[in-house]
Amino acid sequence: MVGMKIFAFAALAIGAIAAPVADSKSFKVGVTIGSKTLYLTGTDKSSENIADGIACKIVDTAISCGADNKGYDYNPLHPFEGALVLSAKPSNNKGWAIDADNKITWKTSDNKFVNFSTSAVGKPNEIFAEICSTYGHPDGAVFTPGVAKAYYV
């Protein structure tokens, strides 16, 4: 009987681990590049002021931001033609996740991820969804990758 209870408990524990992660609570996306953190806003310009950042949630691996529940997109044909900007109908807004250290990842396919980057040819405070690494291209002088984190509000 004791062995049966242990087996049942182990099965429940494994089931709990395999269960989908619950939707996130509200957060702001901060991308740190070097010593500077830029927060995504409702426009194509990010801000160094967290108060300017737009509140987002992750629902079913899609990011949903602001009162209009808009999401972000990347261009799978590469290169991304413009800074990240919210879209009412993004076509590539799946694969978002937040890990235990609040690091945000955006998965494009098996073991391939979007890099949140600034561009040497872009305007100051623009954040790009850079996917060069998805296509096996090296990151170079054009894009400087950063680390995206969730800052809970």
Q: Is residue 33 part of a domain?
A: yes
CATH, residue 80: 2.80.10
141 is a domain residue = yes
What SS3 state is found at 14? Answer: helix
Residue 13 belongs to a domain: no
pLDDT (tens digit, 0 to 9) for every residue of the chain, 153 residues total? Answer: 444 444 343 333 444 333 344 577 999 999 999 999 999 999 999 999 999 999 999 999 999 999 999 999 887 765 556 788 899 999 999 999 999 999 999 998 888 888 898 887 778 899 988 776 655 555 566 778 899 999 998
pLDDT at 56: 98
- The boundaries of the domain holding residue 87 are 23-152
Q: How far apart are CA 114 and CA 128, in angstroms?
A: 9
Q: What is the DSSP string of 68-94?
A: TTBB----TTSS--S----BSS-SS--
Residue 94 located in a structural domain:
yes
88 within some domain: yes
Domain count, the chain: 1
pTM: 0.79
Is residue 107 included in any domain, yes or no?
yes
In a domain, 31, yes or no: yes
Q: Is residue 43 part of a domain?
A: yes
